[in-house]
Chains A and B, each alone.
Chain A
Amino acid sequence: MPAGPGRGDGPLLEVQGLHKVFETGERRTEAIGSLTFRVAEREFLAIVGPSGCGKTTLLRCVAGLSRPTSGRVLLRGRPVEEPPPGLMLVFQDYGRALCPWRTILGNVLLALEGGRLPREARQARALEALRLVGLNGFQGHYPWELSGGMQQRLQIARALAYRAEILLMDEPFGSLDALTRAELEDQLLAIRASHPGAILFVTHDIEEAVYLADRVLVVSPRPAEIVAELPIGLPRPRHQIRTRTDPRFVEYRTAILTRIWTQSEARHAAPLGDGATT
């Protein structure tokens, strides 16, 4: 993620009225009702919502991998229809997103093979990315030799080598155990400290969202809509103990969880026929 001043005017990412409906045969699923939000340069925006509320669909639309039914996505003011340069998606299922036939280094180099850097420069950048995530020394190994946490770090290293301006992260730590998750959360924040860039982070874990983000959007289950927005005023650098025991942390968490509960109750109470699905 490039250090240096941002462009200043206008947000990095704009999502306007995003609406997505899936039609398979006779079934019609409204994954996303209407989403409108922005991500500023170098902002860490977390999106929280229960599983299955369309968060993955959202990221895929933002990444240009899926076409929305209506609404649009703008990256630096330009509409996204195909995966744009400068944007990288980090998948939850790291095992599937890595190339088992390539070494660790080879996997990171994949990010650079579409570009025009000469070989030495590519090697250097790849090794630098591995160093940032703490995987230097494992270049010659294969993904299956790494633990889950390390494989996810590899995916992040690959994204870093790509020099994405914005990272889209789809519940990246969801498949990991709690201790590894905490480790990776801090690693992510550490990387950001030296290489600031925008991150759009999707998770169902409220505490993770509050811990990591500058701002949190709470999204309702299908059809996805923003039901709350909270700027997170916790100081940086964040700390697994100090931050998480900060009374404001607890307040944020309470507010978000309460919002989600009331939202779900409202959904359950709503009469059928108004389009709301549970």
Chain B
Amino acid sequence: MTAPESSRRPRTRAQGPRLARRAAAGAPGLLVLLLLLVLWELGSRGGWLPIRFFPPVTAILATFARVLADGALPAHLGMTLLRMAAGGVLAGLVGVGLGLLMGYVQGLHRALRPLVEFLRPMPPVAVLPALILLLGIGERMKVAVIAFGCVWPILLNTVDGVRGVHPILLEVARNFRFSHGATLRKIVFPAALPQIMAGLRVSLAIAFILALVSEMVGATSGLGFFIIFAQRSFRVGEMYAGMVLLAITGYALNAGFLWVEGRVLAWHRESAGAVAV
């Protein structure tokens, strides 16, 4: 398949108006954002906004640069990400593994689904105190609560993905006399992957939130600890700096995941769009 001629044309002036249009569309938003920041800055420096609630924007940015440079903030970020990874991997292994089996073996699904439906609605935040009692306030507790929160979307999406595999594909596998293991590996898992990725995407957000909450409740490191400790020590600038980093991290995590998903599921997006003639 060769690309059509038009897509190989170098960027000419015809592209100019399109870029300009996009910039114009984003301009009001940018202006409003800058306006709000300027008002904050002026209000804070001028005394209308109490500094202990709203330090000047420039001061926050300076603090942000400082804690970033001296390594304190990155270290906390690293801890948070590490805990998320540990909990996420645990939830992923259990969720995908069990989900594949539950989706594939009807009997297992019938047996376990009520248990799942009983545990799933438990808000992980509410389970947190129980986990503290059982596991203390160390790393295990944090990883456990993250895993507990993440496993449900992964498990349920995997089950749905498996059950959504088209019966014809399964018959093709039977025709080829594949063992159940081979069928799961070669057919069921790849076919369910789009749905599994959707579950992983949801669990990413949950992992982030639960990491923060568990760090606020019982920790000495991590971004959640950083911001709550900053508040308690009345270092408001650092608290805001932490929040800024959290927003950036949230964005980066999401963008990163979408990128990975795009690569892994390149075949899916295309085939979903294409129509068999």
Chain B positions within 8 Å of A113 at CB level: 176, 182, 186
* Contact between chains at B271 and A100 (CB < 8 Å): yes
Contact A97 B271 (CB under 8 A): no
Interface size on A, residues (CB 8 A): 34
A99 within 8 A of B: yes
**B12 interface hit (Cβ, 8 Å):** no
Contacts of A91 in B (CB 8 A): 168, 171-172
Chain A nearest Cβ from B148, distance in angstroms: 31
Are A148 and B174 in touch, CB under 8 angstroms?
Answer: no
Q: Are A144 and B171 in contact (CB under 8 A)?
A: no
Chain B interface main SS type = helix
Q: How far is the CB of B228 from chain A (nearest CB, A)?
A: 45
Task: Judge whether B1 is part of the interface by a CB distance below 8 angstroms.
Answer: yes
Q: Nearest Cβ in chain B — how far from A35, in angstroms?
A: 21
B267 CB–A CB distance under 8 Å: yes
* 8 A Cβ contacts from A129-187 to B: 141-145, 147-148, 151, 162, 175
B189 to chain A, nearest CB (A): 10
B36 contacts A by Cβ under 8 Å: no
- A142 near B168 with CB under 8 A, answer no
Instruction: Tell me which of A87, A89, A151 contacts B171 (CB under 8 A).
Output: A89
Q: Whole-angstrom distance from the CB of A15 to the nearest CB of chain B?
A: 18
Q: Cβ of B190 < 8 Å from any Cβ of A?
A: yes
Which residues from A are CB-within-8-Å of B276?
94-95, 144, 148, 151, 175
Interface string of B184-224 (1 = CB under 8 A from A): 00110011010000000000000000000000000000000
For B171, give the chain A residue with the smallest CB separation: A65
Alpha-carbon separation in the docked complex, A141 to B267 (Å): 10
CA distance A111 to B168 in the complex (A): 15
Binary interface profile of A, 90-132, with partner B (CB < 8 Å = 1, else 0)? 0101111101111000000011011000000000000000000
Interface status of B24 (Cβ within 8 A of chain A): no
Taking CB atoms and an 8 Å cut-off, the chain B residues in 144-186 that contact chain A are: 166, 168-169, 171-172, 174-178, 182, 186
